[in-house]
Structure 1
Amino acid sequence: MKKNYYQQLAFMGFLLIILFAFQNYRSKPKENFSDVHFITNNIAALQLTEFNPNDLDEKQWKNLGFTEKQTATILNYKKIVGGKFLSKEQFRKCFAVSKDKFSELEPFLLLPDSNREAKINRFKFEKKSIAVHRKFNPDLYTKDDWIKMGFSERQAEAIIKYKNYLGGSFVSKEKFRECFIISEENYQKLSGYLILPEKTAAGFSRYANNSISNTSKIQYRPFDPNTLDTEGWKSLGFSDKQAQTIVNYRDRNLKGSFKSIEDIQKCFVISAKKLNEMKPFIRLNAASMGTVDNTRPEAKQQEKTDFSKVDLNAITFRQLLEFGFDEKAAGSMIGFRKKLGGFMNKEQILTTYNIDIPLMQKLLSTAQLNTSNIARYTIYEAPEDWLKNHPYFKYSADKIIFYRLSEKDEKKLWKLLKIKPEYEAKMKLYLK
């Protein structure tokens, strides 16, 4: 009992001491803290102006209020994303940049808002003010001359390349205007100063320089114009484009065959001089014209085609009609084949518009397909007009032409193009 009594007494004494101390504390006069100021990192005091975060060094990041560790993290993150921030969206993902901090900096960042916008901008050429003060012949201008005028280095390279593509001369203002590097706005600035004809001369072909200029070197032999393919016409001195035009004219306009010398003369790419050179060697055979001389005993044997020996890349309009296709289907197949430059596999043929699928499947199971004569290029060697006209390449042609100027690694080039796998597979059928 005595023990409990003393414990209670001690506890009461302890409470009295605490109450006494508290009373003394409250009785003291209060100190005035009105003049005390806490140090804050106020970003507004920095008076920020627009800046590119890719240009900042370690000290400048610290001046923006980041700690040494945060600064190191930001610089490491920049290396990880390729050494350069592409957009505000990408910068915001750096975990060293808080949401509040990004909100403070965001209005001053000289970056596209999103990664998508940044990628789109990569397809655009840098806009510069083009300055020209006197008339000039663009054929004489070097890469440095175009750069001095205000074009970027890549633009200058592309302009020179386009000139070479035309055969070493811009030919006319009309052709100069077609250069995709030169915007309509810049063309209007330059047009009045160009020392070039307004219009392209009739009959101009950029392929002229590629054709055999000295026709005396051509060793003519008797030939049937209805059996010649593009290579056959090229061996007679015609350019790629001219040869293709002749074959198209024969197969489409004349439904597969020349019936007379006059038909050949009407093809606009065959000049009168050239026709006179060829005329002694032209042999128009009745069988290839789709007509039969009934006075000849072998005529009946020539009426039917052995389709097991026919090449689908050489089958004529007349032969397709003979097999059972109507004119619309036959024309569609030959037209599609010409656009492709030839079929690389039989599955392609089945995608032809207006085709009778069951009948075509029957033909495919009978006829042969020879792909050895089809033109194929590397993605770097492919001619620009070929890219722009080929059904599989034309929608990506401008991107290919632009990216291959600077990117020499083919795998990286395909990644930049970002083409769907099924389309890429089709394109690679025509690439080496």
Structure 2
Amino acid sequence: MKKSYYQKLAGIGMFLIILFVFQNYRSREKEDFSDVHFIAENSVALKLAEFNPNELDKKQWQNLGFTEKQTSTILNYKKVVGGKFLSKEQFKKCFAVSEEKFSELEKYILLPQTNTEAKFNRFKSFEKKSIIVSKKFNPDFYSANDWMEMGFSERQAEAIIKYKNYLGGSFVSKEKFKECFIISEENFEKINPYLMLPEKTPANYNRYAKNLNSGKTKIQYHTFDPNTLNLDDWKSLGFSDKQAQTIVNYRDRNLKGSFKSMEDIQKCFVISVEKFEEMKPFIRLNPATIASNGTQKAETKQQEKTDFSKVDLNSITFKQLLEFGFDEKAAASMLGFRKKLGGFVNKEQILTTYNIDPELMKQLLSVAQLNTSNVPKYTLIDAPEEWLKNHPYFKYSADKIIFYRLSEKDEKKIWKLLKTKPEYEARMKLYLK
């Protein structure tokens, strides 16, 4: 009887254990996984620029569109492969980087394509350039070319300009400047002492609000003779350095020494309609100053012997540019740009010269000739290395061209490998046979 009793008791115990295990299993099926996030693409449209994945910190990876968990995975993977990504091929193997995300980033990654290429160290052009700053500057006034001269790549320079435009046309403060994805912590520390910007962003800052210069000091006008004003006098009337210089050049060179009428003043393109109306009640044209400048006009006229309709823009001299009305800075910029290019191939290029007066240049372009017969041109295959590295249109792609043509003699294939923007390719082809 006792044996039968214990057998039944053991059977009931086994049944209870099996029931408990089954209930526990079913409850696990309903476990809440709401806090588990799968690695996925960030759907936000990103403004990308060239970058070296070995130099990005946690925040910069997140700025590229990766989640916090993906970022941790990438940084851990970098440690696993030796603390440094050697190639795009190696970076692609990180499981936190999907095929779609890699395709999006690939052309911006400053690494060789494969580990083999990395071992042979044949992609020196992918090494990061050192950022060099030598003087204080206001970044709001810097062009893409200025950023490239500092050491940023072409794409990085464009991204910095786009970021400034995104902020409303001004970096506003050092604080905002630092937030630009392209500016790494290291580079910001180099640039920071030279930035002519406030340390902190104003509390009332709104990037959507237009800068109406509402705080600008109101000009206290007195009667004046525009023919007796020098550079500082025009600046005291509210004009910038460049505007004041343009007015003086316009008066002394284009008008041969003096404004003869109100219309002459109004025609100066840096004097807006509003500004002219503001100054008009105070302007006094003194016949005596016009007459005294008449002698200067006659003397200048005798000295001017150049027939600009016969002048070639690829051989025009510094003196002739001054004679036409350009200041020394503009003349030097044009001749310097022409020298770097090896000569102009079309007149539109000349209008892209820095520091020139566009309206005055358009007048010269409408009169002067352009002879392009002596401008040196090459193919991608036979272009001298020194020429490629120094030419403004080729220097940022020079190392890649030199590398690709070692094994590839078909120019069409080289263009595909370069992956340049259509506008840059068109610009480069101006100097190719």
TM over 0.5: no
TM-score, structure 2 as length reference: 0.32
Larger radius of gyration: 1
With the length of structure 1 as denominator, give the TM-score of the two structures.
0.32
